[in-house]
A and B are shown apart, each in its own frame.
Chain A
């Protein structure tokens, strides 16, 4: 019996740093672009596999751990699930349905939630800290909120884990934070947490032969108005690079005059 399931959420993104956006529809141009696993999600996969290895080496949790990768995306994203298997994930499920298209982060998280619910005994969800294309970093926190479970973003080290709780360290801009949280929980990870391994030969052979189930909206029990474009609360209206405007004014005169003028200007700009 598998008692601990670790779910790794991965997303297919364009395999290029030059992301092009269609100015009319404000959607990503995906045609003709090679796709890869979102870079941060490769750390999520590795951490899932490492946690499994760690739990397996502990006599208490031996033989009871499984790592499952899921992605919501078009049929082509099956390839990233196979890659995840070659990297040590035990099995994978593709969430795919025309009705999922156009999902914002909320609709994405809801779809992922309904998929995760179908597994018994899941104890941990690992996500990347953000994606290369959408780049919001919202899916993880939203998912945790929907499940009402703890969420630790930017986890950099899992100090301890067992069936019921874990101790996680995370890196903030100016400090480290360490949390003890109850499981089930969700975490998001970046490149601080590990160095992803190279695929194994047995993994590659398994990945090649594996049947990857596809779950559609029916299997997830989701109604049309909850998913895809219709289930999305947000819509990208416009994408642009913010302009920053600098204006420099030199103040001249004696020190008193300068101070006077500066004071007046700051007051005028309601800075003081």
Chain B
């Protein structure tokens, strides 16, 4: 299939494929089974300049668009969604600095994130604040030229592995969403501890952890933008990052399709390859068609985002919604095509199904994506 990639975009794809084939695939089953964080692979991804993509050249990046990030994410997800999640979560952690950070903050934090020397993380969710992110209870209280943070974040990807955290806390609970502020918090700051590591259904090699703040003193200069701008920061970040969640979904779906096609040609029943049964052929045809449609929507959302268009929430939500639902369907069908073998850990499709599920949940559940799309339709009309 031809996607009209430039030479540089094709290089990104080629580099990711090499990492997938040489590093990710040989390690993924064991990393999944044992929940091993793939530190070496992440280092390799950093060395290959993939964290540099979306960061401007001025800060050690390569100044590409979200589209290039999506290409890299899709390819890495073909190998292992745990790795792609780790990669994408660092982006989620540094996009707030890119969109809201001051010049000094960018100079200070972005170069080490661009090189992959450091990872970032994004800390919004709490035990009582998931979809309703505005109800977070973590508090930041001003004290001289610092803020004192108290509270616990839950299910934070790259928790413990990242050096740089974008943390959302309320500076003014009476103002609800408008009282939320965002802070850059460095690992090792006194009062910042890590809690329990989660044991998950899928993306088991990615780190998902609690962040605990007890009287954690953060200098005021680490606040992103100004007080009360946290919620907007989070929403703008999601607008930029959601096409990449779509790309994760496309990648894992593509991998499952490849497994299903290959298997259908070698598995014989009733004296013929199962690919000769129309029931199997039609499943494969549907899977491939849905993936292609999802990919087109993700690429389109990414390119519109890169065009500088401001109202991207709807399209960005659509790409995440459609691609993640596709990934779930396709990975389940891939197991069906592999039959009992598909249910076994000897084949990678059961892992792909477990992994795919997360794309319907994180960075806003698919129900929340529909809320966003509907709200935009009602606010701005159907065009």
A interface list, Cβ under 8 A from B = 197-205, 208
Contact = CB atoms under 8 A, between A and B. Distances in A.
B7 A200 contact: no
Contact of A205 (B11, B18, B48): B11
A199 B8 contact: no
B286 interface: no
> Which 10 A-B residue pairs are closest in the complex by CB-CB distance?
A201-B49, A200-B49, A204-B11, A200-B48, A198-B18, A202-B49, A198-B19, A198-B48, A197-B47, A198-B44
In the complex, which range does the number of interface residues on chain B fall in? Answer: 10 to 19
Given A197-B48, A200-B48, 11 more contacts: A197-B44, A197-B47, A198-B22, A198-B47, A201-B50, A201-B52, A201-B53, A202-B49, A202-B52, A202-B62, A203-B49
A201 B48 CA distance: 6
Main secondary structure of the interface of B (DSSP, over half): helix
Interface string B1-35: 00000011001100100110011000000000000
A202 B51 CA distance: 12
7 contacts: A198-B15, A198-B19, A201-B48, A201-B49, A201-B52, A201-B53, A202-B62
Contacts of B11: 201, 204-205
A182 B62 CA distance: 40
Contacts of A203: 49
A78 to B, nearest CB: 18
B44 A204 contact: no
Which residue, A200, A202, A208, has most C-beta atoms of chain B within 10 A? Answer: A200
Contacts of B12: 201
Contacts of B8: 201, 205
A201 B11 CA distance: 7
Contacts of A197: 44, 47-48
A136 to B, nearest CB: 29
A200 B22 CA distance: 15
B62 A204 contact: no
Contacts of B52: 201-202
Which residue, B7, B11, B15, has most C-beta atoms of chain A within 10 A? Answer: B11
Nearest to A207: B11
A160 to B, nearest CB: 23
A15 B290 CA distance: 38
A238 B50 CA distance: 50
Interface string B88-113: 00000000000000000000000000
Contacts of A204: 11, 15
A202 B22 CA distance: 20
Nearest to B10: A204
A201 B12 CA distance: 7
B4 to A, nearest CB: 19
A82 to B, nearest CB: 12
B16 to A, nearest CB: 9
A198 B41 CA distance: 11
A17 to B, nearest CB: 18
Contact of A199 (B7, B18, B23, B62): B18
Contacts of A208: 7
B44 A199 contact: no
Which residue, A201, A203, A204, has most C-beta atoms of chain B within 10 A? Answer: A201
